[in-house]
Structure 1
Amino acid sequence: MKFDFHTHHDRCGHAEGGIRDYIEAALKKGLDMIGISDHSPYFGSERDHLHPKVAMAKSEFPRYVNEVLRLKQEYSGRIEVLLGVESDFFPESAEVYRKEYERYPLDFIIGSVHAIGGMSIFNRNRWKKLNEKQRIQVKQDYYEQIILSAKSGMFDILGHIDAMKGFYPQFSELPTDAADRALKVIAEADVVIEVNTSGKTKEAGGWYPSDDVLERALFHNVKVTLGSDAHIPERVGDELELVRNRLKEIGFREWAFFRRRQRYLTKL
């Protein structure tokens, strides 16, 4: 089975193309399933559209859902279109987000940490004035947030769990067992992690997570799935076969797909 559970479109303000464009790209790639998972609105904000270049407006979310559901029907029999969302995780607003998601027939929710200490994880400037001890603390804070997201029970998939290396490749080498501790919790919470192929488009030049993290994930019996994190239609299903083969080499035998918040496992 071929699928991609992580795609964006123009509603988020920093991706190209509409939802239909991503579905058509998935058809051309021969995918069986395509997950539509644009960035969630900032539901914890009083403003309707807090960051127009980052995520959709709160008022836009019902229209997003309705469009995906309409296209799901239109493409039935040709490709399975799945309604998802990539959700930020803010512990102080978790219940607000949870109640919003309960209103809609979502197939899956990706939980991703995009900010630590009020700053984007992709902001390379955060590291410039930090000493080694402070850098390690940032990495530990990042994984503590991932641990909290796993424990929340809100998510089916955790997105790009070492993406902080994107514009700071040295992140992976910072000496701490924070990632391993997070994987233990993810396994206990029975949440899936994605192999996100968008890391190759950043300075880190590799997938999220790296092979050593995937090896530890297998050790802890963490389940995996695939997400391209496509922000242009051409990247839908990107490197699917390479990921499949690499996961087999590491020792995985299955990967996960979702329908109506239920997880299923299929052979790689």
Structure 2
Amino acid sequence: MIDYHLHVIAHGDRPMTVENILKYCEVARARGVSQMGITEHDRYLEEIDLAAFQEARELSHDVELRLGIEIDFVPGAEERMDNDATALPYDYIIGSVHRVDNEEVDRATDQRIYDKYETYDLYAAYYANVRKATLSGRFEILGHPDLIKIFRHFPDRDITPILEETADAVAESGVVVDVNAAGLRKPIGEVYPARDFLQMFHKRGVPIVLSSDAHAPDQVAMGYDTSLALVHEVGYREVATFRNRERGTLPI
């Protein structure tokens, strides 16, 4: 099993040390995770300790470590994104959309964006950014593709055509979708992406990875019973893996 989206530094909570990385590995091992990808937020790029990662990789034994990064996709910030994407010898890069018009959609302490925009228009703008991210050619993985649902603000109008268009773009791009259990820990109380959206991806042959989006060791592989049940019900029997930006597969 894999967990391909997690954060040791998290939101500046702890340094990336060998000891802290191995704490995540210990939980991964106990929960049956054989490959674990550390994907810090790109704003903490300068705090990523490559030497500590490489030493932990040598010591992690039956938990294979992968180095990734989660890049915050923002239209107009191409130079920053390109610099971040080439800064370290990543195994893969996650591209995630957290913003519309440079305002965060997932900040629990500031949800004013949901009052600023009509909800349907906000969803349309969010998914337009998701499509731009997938088609940009910068990323191997699309992070939590329906993050916009996090606080249960839903549009009154049907967004199925928007989701279909987005699934088409993902399939065209060759990007892998992050099936992310963090939504189970948020107000939405479900995996990203939702079942119907995941079915659209499966219908188009889009590969997936599994992740917990852990920001602390005890969150590694948290919610995987639910995630695994979902992906099996939809029809997935394997996950993508990465090493040196090359994709492989692993049965689930």
* Alpha-carbon distance between aligned partners in 2 of 1:38 and 1:262, rounded to the nearest angstrom: 20
Alignment of 1:1-268 (within 5 A): 2-10=1-9, 12-13=11-12, 18-41=20-43, 56=44, 58-61=45-48, 63=49, 65-75=50-60, 77-122=61-106, 123-128=110-115, 130=117, 134-170=118-154, 174-176=157-159, 177-268=161-252
Distance 1:72 1:174, change over 3 A: farther
Q: Amino acid of the residue matched to residue 6 of structure 2?
A: T
Shift of 1:15: 7.3
Q: 1:184 to 1:85 in 2, by over 3 A?
A: same
- The amino acid that maps onto 1:211 is R
Q: Could you report, residue by residue, the CA deviation over 1:226-249 in whole angstroms, capped at 9, with x for unpaired residues?
A: 010011211101232432232121
- Tell me, in whole angstroms, the C-alpha distance in 2 between the residues paired with 1:197 and 1:224: 13
Secondary structure in structure 2 of the residue aligned to 1:170: coil
- Please give the alpha-carbon distance, in whole angstroms, between the structure 2 residues aligned to 1:111 and 1:174: 27
Aligned-partner residue type, residue 158 of structure 2: P
Structure 1 window deviating more from structure 2 (247-256 vs 206-215): it is: 247-256
Letter of the structure 2 residue corresponding to residue 73 of structure 1: E
How far has the Cα of 1:217 moved from its partner?
Answer: 0.9
Secondary structure of the corresponding residue to residue 76 of structure 2: helix
Distance 2:46 2:220 in 1: 27
- How much has 1:66 moved relative to structure 2? 2.7
Q: TM-score, normalised by structure 2?
A: 0.89
Query: More displaced, 230-239 or 158-167?
Result: 230-239
How far did 1:16 drift? 9.6
Tell me how far 1:251 sits from its aligned partner: 1.6
| Count of paired positions | 245
Compute the displacement of 1:254 (Å).
2.0
The Cα shift of 1:146 comes to: 0.7
Alpha-carbon shift at residue 100 of structure 1 (Å): 3.6
Residue type of the alignment partner of 2:179: V
Q: Taking structure 1 as reference, are residues 136 and 16 closer, same or farther at Cα in structure 2, changes over 3 Å only?
A: farther
Partner Cα separation in structure 1 for residue 46 and residue 154 of structure 2: 39
How far the C-alpha of 1:27 sits from its partner, in A, is 1.7
State whether residues 107 and 259 of structure 1, in contact with CA within 8 Å, keep that contact through their aligned partners in structure 2. yes
Question: Any stretches of 5+ residues in structure 1 without a counterpart?
Answer: 42-55
Given that residues 144 and 178 in structure 2 are in contact (C-alpha distance below 8 angstroms), is that contact kept between their aligned partners in structure 1? yes
C-alpha change, 1:67 and 1:190, in structure 2 (3 Å) is same
> Taking structure 1 as reference, are residues 201 and 15 closer, same or farther at Cα in structure 2, changes over 3 Å only?
farther
Q: Is the 2:212–2:221 Cα contact (8 Å) retained in structure 1?
A: yes
Alignment partners' CA distance in 1, 2:157 and 2:185 = 22
Q: Secondary structure at the match of 1:198?
A: helix
Report the secondary structure of 2:42's partner residue: coil
Deviation (angstroms), 1:216: 0.9
Letter of the 1:144 partner, please give it: A
For normalisation by structure 1, the TM-score amounts to 0.84
Structure 1 residue 102, shift from structure 2 partner = 2.2
- Among all aligned residue pairs of Structure 1 and Structure 2, give the percentage whose two residues are the same amino acid: 29
